Structure 1
Amino acid sequence: MTSERRKAFITGITGQDGSYLAELLLSKNYEVHGLIRRSSSFNTERIDHLYQDPHDPDVRLQLHYGDLSDGVRLTTLLRDIEPDEIYNLGAQSHVRVSFDEPVHTAETTGASTIRLLEAVRQSGVGCKFYQASTSELFGATPPPQNESTPFYPRSPYGVAKLYSYWITKNYREAYGLFAVNGILFNHESPRRGETFVTRKITRAAAAIKAGVQDHLYMGNLDAVRDWGYAPEYVEGMWRMLQADEPEDFVLATGQESTVRDFLIVAFEHAGLDWEKHVRFDPRYLRPTEVDALIGDPSKAAEKLGWRTSVNSAELARIMVDADIERLECQGRPYIDTPRPSTA
């Protein structure tokens, strides 16, 4: 390993963003360390293609067992790894599920951040810290939303993330840490979890087209969101930690689409009439809805040179194509190849 190679530590490395970020950092010659939880079965599908020969002395991806609930383990890991950059992406990140599991969400999405920040402080590791924040912080505040927009979260998930946002800012100001919040609006990909609305739509379109499913049950189709492409957003995360000073940034496309808009494009791309297959199910409604989230990414464009190139319609088509291919590849390894970012 060369002395110039930087080290990154990623929590949530097996998730959508963690897998794309690991790819990006490896492409930039980082040594990447990821935190994974011990379980009876492996959950590394999104990063399996990144593994290298374990006998290669230059192995640059290493996974470590641990949990964000264990502050002692986190401190020990940071002392052993001595990362230059930490990306805290681990959380219970499903908004609807947070209403069913509010205490678990508060623990894994909120309290976990203070444990990791304390591990940074206690270990004495001089590193830069990225906190995955969210547009759900804005909740009921009307769009467009930027770094100065007041917060008004409308879910246990949003409230837990609000704690993480403020404690990250507090540690930056109290202890001089290079700690930033990336307030990312919705960003999707073929690696999105199957219960998230965009992936739920594209999987259903592929399955209905293949004749293995008849209907898709949906909740609120009128919710307005700002959807971007996840590989472009992890580039923005990285850029935040390359800045001269720690600042918080909104990452978004600035373009609005309803759930219905996304659904129509996805089904049309699969050659389907959505109205023949989509059914309403009130169980998918949230107790408190977030009507519209539309970001203003002008600060990130000006200070980081970060811009998006994939809009929501193109994103829907990318995801439908991937889910159709995934059905055709059942029983064989599948991994999507991100488009080259123009950010």
Structure 2
Amino acid sequence: MTPSRVALVTGVAGQDGVYLARELIARGWQVVGTVRPGDPAVTAMSVYLSGVEVVSHDLCDAAGFGSLVELWRPSRVFNLAGFSSVGASWDQPDLVEEVNGVAVERMLASLVELRDRHGDDVRFFQAGSAEESAPGASSPYAQSKVRARAAVSVAREAFGLHAVTATLHNHESPLRPRRFVTRKITRAAASIALGRASSVTLGNLDVSRDWGAAADYVRAMVAMLELDTPRDLVVATGVTHTLHDLLAAAFAAAGLGDPSAYVVQDPALLRPADAPTLAADISETRRVLGWKPSTSFEDVVAQMVRVDLERLRSGVEESPAYLTPS
């Protein structure tokens, strides 16, 4: 295929993949997106991927990735795939290291080969995480992301590849899977408001995070690869909230009162070495990209609750209409 405005997005059926693919298509890019072979979530998420060329690909298949980029000759590669749960990473550390760390090293090697063989201007985006710099940064998830960041730096500085890592702080949307605590809370608020549940069981409510909107963050991802000189940047809002704040915002959006009457706290849900606060400085990102978040914390949570209410009322779990802010 002749090099063109082709963007390859790994993990295209995930929250960020969907938002990024739609953003790229709106900008005139042809999008090829990879999904994990046999992933049962792909069918449901396909309603969001109109216009995307979806291909099955195992992140651990280095030869398969090489064949994929040789076929499509993308000028942009966004790596959003991988093991995304910090808590669950403790149970499968070897798998996390393989898909979040080793796979990135192999991808970058393939892209250097592609560039050297064809002379293509190929640019690579790696989704990093604020967990990398958390106190201790001891989770298998954090360590795997540190390894991927190092690989990006080597590809850029030793091999001249236009490659960047974004330190992504927490970002949410109605597409956040229900295994994440944010979506667990918004779903519970909707269920309680509709009389379908009476409580929600949670762990530590004092942890603080910088929560933004996925729709905002993908615009920063695109902008980072448009810079003439590659550089790593922090993508966040610059404002932190506690999980208790998120709980209160969700219950307010659902028309409920004080959430404390509905919360059951379970010490078993506490994560090992959970960082109490992850704050962000986005001054450089604002200056370099001219980017800033446009959606407030309260609006992010309210949209998630609104969509979960609609899901429960209609029985329709996924619909493109759910991506439209109210």
Q: Which residue of 1 aligns with 2:291?
A: 306
Amino acid at match of 1:196: F
1:45 is displaced (CA, Å) by 2.8
* 1:242 and 2:226 matched: yes
Q: Secondary structure at the match of 2:138?
A: coil
Amino acid at match of 1:287: P
Q: Secondary structure at the match of 2:323?
A: coil
TM-score (norm 1): 0.89
Q: Measure, in 1, the Cα distance between the counterparts of 2:187 and 2:99.
A: 28
Contact 1:136 1:154 in 2 (8 A): no
Contact 2:303 2:325 in 1 (8 A): no
Q: Measure, in 1, the Cα distance between the counterparts of 2:69 and 2:3.
A: 19
Q: Which residue of 1 aligns with 2:162?
A: 178
Q: Measure, in 2, the Cα distance between the counterparts of 1:244 and 1:314.
A: 34
Q: Which residue of 1 aligns with 2:121?
A: 126
Contact 2:174 2:323 in 1 (8 A): no
Q: Which residue of 1 aligns with 2:74?
A: 83
* 1:99 and 2:85 matched: no
Q: 1:192 to 1:65 in 2, by over 3 A?
A: same
Amino acid at match of 1:315: V
Runs of 4+ aligned residues of structure 1 deviating over 4 Å after TM superposition are none
Q: Measure, in 2, the Cα distance between the counterparts of 1:333 and 1:105.
A: 28
Contact 1:326 1:334 in 2 (8 A): no
Q: Measure, in 2, the Cα distance between the counterparts of 1:166 and 1:180.
A: 11
TM-score (norm 2): 0.94
What is the percentage of aligned positions where both structures have the same residue?
A: 37
Q: 1:155 to 1:338 in 2, by over 3 A?
A: farther
In structure 1, the gaps of 5 or more residues are: 53-60, 141-151
- Post-superposition CA distance 1:95-152 (Å, at most 9, x none): 1001111111111111111111112123335300000001001111xxxxxxxxxxx4
In structure 2, the gaps of 5 or more residues are: none
Q: Which residue of 2 aligns with 1:68?
A: 59
Q: 1:120 to 1:35 in 2, by over 3 A?
A: same
Q: 1:67 to 1:4 in 2, by over 3 A?
A: closer
1:44 is displaced (CA, Å) by 4.0
Q: Which residue of 2 aligns with 1:296?
A: 281
Amino acid at match of 1:164: A
Equivalences for residues 39-78 of structure 1 within 5 A: 39=38, 41=40, 43-52=42-51, 61-78=52-69
Q: If each structure's helix is expressed as a fraction of its own residues, which one has the higher value?
A: 2
Q: Measure, in 1, the Cα distance between the counterparts of 2:210 and 2:274.
A: 16
Q: 1:333 to 1:185 in 2, by over 3 A?
A: closer
RMSD of Structure 2 on Structure 1 (CA): 1.9
- Post-superposition CA distance 1:41-97 (Å, at most 9, x none): 461433424325xxxxxxxx2111211100000001100000010000001010100
Amino acid at match of 2:235: L
Q: Which residue of 2 aligns with 1:330?
A: 315
- Post-superposition CA distance 1:206-252 (Å, at most 9, x none): 11111222211111100011000000000000000000100000011
Q: 1:26 to 1:160 in 2, by over 3 A?
A: same
Q: Secondary structure at the match of 2:150?
A: helix
Amino acid at match of 1:173: E
Q: Measure, in 2, the Cα distance between the counterparts of 1:284 and 1:63.
A: 36
1:193 is displaced (CA, Å) by 1.2
1:254 is displaced (CA, Å) by 0.7
* 1:199 and 2:199 matched: no
Equivalences for residues 103-182 of structure 1 within 5 A: 103-124=94-115, 125-140=120-135, 152-182=136-166
Q: Secondary structure at the match of 1:126?
A: coil
- Post-superposition CA distance 1:143-198 (Å, at most 9, x none): xxxxxxxxx41311011101001111111011000000011111001011111111
Q: Secondary structure at the match of 1:242?
A: coil
1:40 is displaced (CA, Å) by 7.0
Q: Measure, in 1, the Cα distance between the counterparts of 2:187 and 2:90.
A: 24
Q: Measure, in 1, the Cα distance between the counterparts of 2:53 and 2:316.
A: 27
Q: Measure, in 1, the Cα distance between the counterparts of 2:39 and 2:15.
A: 21
1:267 is displaced (CA, Å) by 0.8
Q: Which residue of 2 aligns with 1:188?
A: 172
Amino acid at match of 1:75: G
Q: What is the number of equivalent residue pairs in this alignment?
A: 320
Amino acid at match of 2:101: G
Q: Secondary structure at the match of 1:175?
A: coil
Q: Measure, in 1, the Cα distance between the counterparts of 2:295 and 2:238.
A: 12
Amino acid at match of 1:27: A
Q: Which residue of 2 aligns with 1:227?
A: 211
Q: Measure, in 1, the Cα distance between the counterparts of 2:58 and 2:270.
A: 31
Equivalences for residues 245-284 of structure 1 within 5 A: 245-272=229-256, 273-284=258-269
1:331 is displaced (CA, Å) by 4.2
Q: Measure, in 2, the Cα distance between the counterparts of 1:215 and 1:333.
A: 24
